[in-house]
Amino acid sequence: MDGFVDEVNITVEAGNGGDGAVSFHREKYVAAGGPDGGDGGKGGDIVFLVDDNLNTLIDFRYKRKFKAENGENGQGSRKYGKSAEDLVIRVPRGTVVSDRDSGRILADMSGSEPVIIAKGGRGGRGNAHFATPTRQIPRFAKPGFKGQKLELHLELKLLADVGLVGFPNVGKSTLISVVSAARPKIANYHFTTLIPNLGVVKISEGNSFVMADIPGLIEGASDGIGLGHEFLRHVERCRLILHIVDVSGSEGRDPISDFEIINRELENFSEELANAPQLVVANKCDMATEEQIKAFGDYISSKGLPFMQISAATTEGTKELMDKTYETLSGLPPLKTFETDPEPVWETADASDSGFEITVEDGIYFVEADWLEGILRTADMDDYESLQHFQLVLKSSGIIDELIKRGIKEGDTVSVCGFEFDYIE
């Protein structure tokens, strides 16, 4: 089965926003130019796009981590950092993208529109934004926001109007080869078909449908026995199932038993799939007796299901079958798409909304928080106003209140991401 991969796990990470700049306008004969630090650029998004030249997820077997570029940092003279390019990931049509941990479906890549899966972080604001009449020389800026990181599960579910199901070697590959331009490998042994084959069946000018030859199912397939169970996902979208049965019993099996076994496997895999419209096709009629065909036909009719007779090898009855299939499809709903359940609009939260952890060792209060490192990186702790801004961040984030709850007193030492200062009430 090398070459066909229809299920993978990958990691994607959007780019971080660039940091805002701390800068002051300096020009000859201009005594007080003021702050002119520019904003950082936005980080690149992770974007998924359908590519109809792809029919497998095999490329993701060799590359599983994708990281978009970060936005550039801001510069002096109010120069904004350049926003990063989006990282476009191309996938086959029919790929369903879900969150690996929660199982939430983020996108069904059935259409041709690009879909943003992970958003890049916004750029941080430069110190030009923080000048006020009372704070004319702000020596701090905002760090860029982090991009979104996700663990994803990709699953390819083919987009076919009609799915051929049945035991191995009942003639599915032969049928699709005579009614479409598809050329699957055909031989007289089980599991000749190792990958789903798609074929376009043309009824007349401008009228056609897509048919998928699904690898043969056997008893226990829905529990993982044999090869066919790996491909059951590919009939989930199908509008109509053509259930192919070897009515001649050439493999030594009973056609009615075959029919019941396959339907049980469909039901065990998906109740919705078991209830999908089904057209039962008796194949190899050229090798069967009239009694065999009649007995099977009577049984299927008693189930209230449409029944047709063909011989794929001689093409007898195949045109009538395709006409009947197209007629049936015209009265059915369009191809199934999976309803997406994306998480709420993702925002790279401001530092004041982020979590933190406080530990006390040898009388020193240690504060750890990833987002604080970015703020420390863009603040000048030797500048009073910059330090004042940092203290406001500690207060608005709840860190000061938590330190008070822990019993901190004036003069105690606080260590924030390695930066130490004495606590003053």
pLDDT for 236: 75
| Confidence band for 32, pLDDT divided at 50, 70 and 90 | low
Round to whole Å and give the CA distance between 49 and 88: 7
Lowest mean pLDDT: which of 292-296, 392-396, 421-425? 421-425
What percentage of the chain exceeds 70 in pLDDT?
Answer: 82
Report, as an integer, the average pLDDT of 348-367.
69
Write out pLDDT tens, residues 264-323: 888 887 787 788 899 999 999 999 999 999 999 999 999 999 999 999 999 999 999 999
Sign of the alpha-carbon torsion through 44, 50, 55, 57: positive
Round to whole Å and give the CA distance between 421 and 292: 91
- The conformation of residue 376, written as its DSSP 8-state character, comes to H
This prediction's pTM: 0.67
> Which of 15-25 are b and which e, b meaning 16 or more Cβ less than 10 Å from the residue's Cβ?
bbbbbbbbbbe
DSSP reduced 3-state for 290 = helix
- The conformation of residue 353, written as its DSSP 8-state character, comes to G
Pairing of strands 413-416, 419-422: antiparallel
pLDDT for 329: 94
Domain with CATH 3.30.300.350 in the chain: 351-422
Residues belonging to the chain: 425
pLDDT for 192: 42
Q: Domain 351-422 classified CATH 3.30.300.350?
A: yes
pLDDT for 188: 46
Q: Domain 1-159 classified CATH 2.40.10.10?
A: no
Is the pLDDT confidence value at 397 over 90? no
pLDDT for 349: 40
- The conformation of residue 169, written as its DSSP 8-state character, comes to T
pLDDT for 391: 80
Phi first, then psi: what are they for 112, rounded to 5°? -105, 0
Domain with CATH 3.40.50.300 in the chain: 163-329
Is the pLDDT confidence value at 180 over 60? yes
Lowest mean pLDDT: which of 55-64, 296-305, 356-365? 356-365
Class of domain 163-329: alpha beta
Is the pLDDT confidence value at 120 over 70? yes
Round to whole Å and give the CA distance between 103 and 246: 39
Closest CA to 211 of 154, 173, 166: 173
Closest CA to 391 of 371, 374, 372, 369: 372
- The conformation of residue 326, written as its DSSP 8-state character, comes to H
